[in-house]
Amino acid sequence: MVPAASQSPSASRAAQILSRPVAINGLTVPNRIAMAPMTRQFSPGGVPGEDVVSYYARRAAAGVGLIVTEGTYVGHASAGNSDRVPRFDGEQQLAGWAKVAEGVHAAGGTIVPQLWHIGLVRKAGEPPFADAPSVGPSVRLDGGEEHGTAMTRGDLDDVIAAFARAAAAAERIGFDGVELHGAHGYLIDQFLWSGTNRRTDAYGGDPVARTKFAAEIVAAVREAVSPAFPVIFRYSQWKSGAYDARLADTPEQLAAVLTPLADAGVDAFHASTRRYWLSEFAGSDLNLAGWTKKLTGKTSITVGSVGLDGEFIRAFAGEGAPVKGIDDLLDRLESDEFDLVAVGRALLQDPQWAAKVLAGRFDELQPYDGSALKTLT
């Protein structure tokens, strides 16, 4: 527990700022708290079960306005590398997800699935489809050895269609929108980043050309769903294993990346950072989500060590993190720097985190103890 004396925001201030509804296209999210997507691997065969239903519904019942699910593999054989990560394709898988959406709605929340293809992160022979190749924008060099194959025009079309099918399925089975995973060095991000995209065709080269694949996915998804159905795009500067990587070093460069995506049909951007309180570019206090909103005019979601003092990467090594105050977060939300805040480890540790914050029960907030990744509670 954190001593009450260290808690700064008043109950009324936290409730006033965080309880405001916010619109994402045709969806009204009841408050400004979102659950960040976090891979859990508790879905054998790619099928989310009743424990997954309870896991998400419990957090919605405690006041999380928008649930963004863990990454779910789209219907492409090369999309993933685990048979315990849920898939968003297949009769049993979608039936399981329909129950998740129903459970979250019954608890008063809204929910979007995060649609995911990991690209060259996958190694040949890995599940769930061991015969599938590892594909990406270009052959990848790992320790000097070539890995994977560069996608052909047919491969690009297949993946674009897989994202569109998954989005249409999400709307059909009752979800409130979709989030496209374009961050952290996975397939879409592999096209966006010069470090992994060495193509010489229309999908490689300058920053705008490198957005072509992502923009085509967004456009296909937009066409596959109704006009009011929200499309969220998650992106990051950093990559897994390359934390200093950057898509853009200036606001102008960032605008070159984001504008084609916004024009293709993105309704909101989920700007993933490791620490939300850090400014993104020299000369401004705006973080990445703040710059995203300023440059595109779109709804933006911030994320990165919310409520905790310690970055999430260390959680994979079992490290904990103490509670961190949210005064700065509330200041930024109040000034409309961004529109929603996604919470990760704090919500893994404590399903009641949102309820406690909204009620000003800051003395009840729990530090992250490093064990929550191992259980589904």
Report in angstroms the alpha-carbon separations of 17 from 302, 330, 334, 369: 15, 7, 6, 28
Cα radius of gyration (the chain): 20
Closest to 29 (Cα-Cα) out of 111, 103, 95: 111
Answer for the pair 196, 203: CB distance below 8 angstroms, yes or no.
no
pLDDT in tens, the chain (377 residues): 333 434 456 678 999 999 999 999 999 999 999 999 999 999 999 999 999 999 999 999 999 999 999 999 999 999 999 999 999 999 999 999 999 999 999 999 999 999 999 999 999 899 999 999 999 999 986 666 788 999 999 999 999 999 999 999 999 999 999 999 999 999 999 999 999 999 999 999 999 999 999 999 999 999 999 999 999 999 999 998 889 999 999 999 999 999 999 999 999 999 999 999 999 999 999 999 999 999 999 999 999 999 998 655 554 455 678 899 999 999 999 999 999 999 999 999 999 999 999 999 999 999 998 888 888 99
What is the structure's pLDDT at 289? 98
How many C-beta atoms lie closer than 10 Å to residue 335's C-beta? Answer: 9
Please give the Cα distance from 306 to 329 (Å, whole number).
8
Q: Which of 259, 359, 349, 256 is nearest to 36 (CA)?
A: 349
3-state SS class at 182: strand
Superfamily of domain 4-374: Aldolase class I (3.20.20.70)
User: Which sign, positive or negative, has the C-alpha torsion 240, 295, 297, 303?
Assistant: positive
Residue 368 and residue 346 in contact, taking contact as beta carbons nearer than 8 Å: yes
**In contact, 199 and 137? CB cutoff 8 Å:** yes
Distance, CA of 113 to CA of 256 (rounded, Å) = 27
pTM of the model: 0.95
| Alpha carbons 192 and 317: distance in angstroms, whole number | 28
CB atoms within 10 A of CB 165: 19
Residue 359 region by backbone torsions, left for phi larger than 0, else alpha for psi between -120 and 50, else beta? alpha
In the numeric block, the tokens 């309704």 are attached to 267
Q: 117 near 73, Cβ under 8 Å?
A: yes
Cβ-Cβ contacts under 8 Å for 201 (sequence gap 6 or more): none
Amino acid present at 209:
A
- The burial class, CB within 10 Å (0-12 / 13-18 / 19+), for 144 is exposed
pLDDT at 313: 55
Looking at residue 87, what is its pLDDT? Answer: 98
Annotated catalytic residues are 186
> To 5 degrees, how large is the angle CA 137–CA 269–CA 294?
115
Residue 318 has a pLDDT of 59
Distance CA 60, CA 12 (A): 21
CA–CA dist 50, 204 (Å, integer): 43
